[in-house]
Structure 1
Amino acid sequence: MPRNVEIKAKVADAEQLEQLAMALTESYGDIMSQTDTFFIVPHGRLKLRVLGERQEGQQEGQLIFYHRPDVSGPKLSEFQTTFVDDAASLLLTLSLALGVLGVVKKRRKLFMHGQTRIHVDTVEELGSYMELEVMLTDDQTLEDGQKIAEEVMEKLQIKTSDLVTGAYLDSLIHKAAA
């Protein structure tokens, strides 16, 4: 199963973060809109990410299953991704079969730095965040990924006090319950 080391942080100034990411990666990044629907499952997390609409009207997507501890700072995530051509149909099927836990809508700007994906996210109802995903090779350890993540955090001026735990969905559920 593929693995990565992830960190997530709340961002006070997304524009400044984007400028730092552009300078680090020497790119303008790729902008995308994503809607993640999370399903009720007995362990881990299962989400369907809708990526966009093709000319025929079908939406492409990714069905993503992952395990990740809900702690701040770098954490190991194991995941499996399946690409789908008809996300709307799969969304209906999974919603009926499993039930929907929640939906996260975001605008994401993606930058690549070596083996690290830098996401600058604007999440509806939550605000601006940054995610780092260090894609591990088979011979790399969690500690190797943590070291890379910490180096990128420093270059992007992310403070450990800004790190958050859990998924965006957890924050939305907590906000709705308050």
Structure 2
Amino acid sequence: MPRNVEVKARIQDWERSLQVCQQLSGSDGEQILQRDVFFNTTKGRLKLRDFQDGSGQLIYYERPDLLGPKLSNYSLSNTADPHGLEAVLTQALGVRGKVVKERFLFLVGQTRIHLDRVKDLGDFVELEVVLKDSQTAQDGDLIAQELMNSLKISQDHLLTGAYMDLLQGGEKN
């Protein structure tokens, strides 16, 4: 199962964060519109990501709800029929909720930086340090901490869970 070290935090200054991401990545980033449907599960999280262009991904992940960098194990499968898959999974599992966002993706080394504008929540930054097989979670933590420093992400801006948790009032931050 692929692994990454993930950090999620509120953004205090969108324009500054955007400029830093552009400088770090050497690009303007890629804009991606996403609609995530979370399904009821007994463990982990299962979501269908609809890219609103006829394609999507079914993503299952397990990640502790802790502040700061945390290890996430995930599996994903691409689909050319997100609406049909959503209908089947809704019947089988029921829907926990939906998250709609505009995402700007920046690649910095082995890290995917997402600047997210989440409907009904606000602006966020998410770091995903994609680990190589030979790397430990501690290696990913070090990379994440460096990027957190560059983006001026402080401890009081960190989030523990997913956007879905915030929308449902389960997030403590």
**Deviation of residue 159 (structure 1)?**
1.3
Within 5 A, what are the aligned runs for 1:107-146?
107-146=102-141
1:93 match: secondary structure = helix
1:144 match: secondary structure = helix
2:68 is the counterpart of 1:68: no
1:52 match: secondary structure = coil
What TM-score comes out, normalization by structure 2 length? Answer: 0.96
Question: For each residue in 1:58-87, what CA deviation from the matched residue of structure 2 results, as whole angstroms up to 9, or x when unmatched?
Answer: x21000000000011000000000000101
Within 5 A, what are the aligned runs for 1:23-62?
23-53=23-53, 59-62=54-57
Q: 2:167 aligns with which of 165, 169, 172?
A: 172
Structure 2, unmatched stretches of 5+, are none
Amino acid aligned to 1:48: L
**Deviation of residue 52 (structure 1)?**
2.5
Once residues 150 and 42 of structure 2 are traced to their aligned partners in structure 1, the CA distance between those partners, rounded to angstroms, is 38
1:150 match: secondary structure = helix
Correspondence for 2:92: 97
Question: For each residue in 1:91-123, what CA deviation from the matched residue of structure 2 results, as whole angstroms up to 9, or x when unmatched?
Answer: 001001100000000000000000000000000
What TM-score comes out, normalization by structure 1 length? Answer: 0.94
Structure 1, unmatched stretches of 5+, are 54-58
Structure 1's consecutive aligned runs of 4 or more residues displaced over 6 angstroms after TM superposition are none
RMSD: 0.9
1:43 match: secondary structure = coil
Question: For each residue in 1:34-64, what CA deviation from the matched residue of structure 2 results, as whole angstroms up to 9, or x when unmatched?
Answer: 00000001111000000132xxxxx210000
Question: For each residue in 1:8-28, what CA deviation from the matched residue of structure 2 results, as whole angstroms up to 9, or x when unmatched?
Answer: 000111111000110111100
Once residues 89 and 111 of structure 1 are traced to their aligned partners in structure 2, the CA distance between those partners, rounded to angstroms, is 30
Correspondence for 1:56: none
Amino acid aligned to 1:132: L
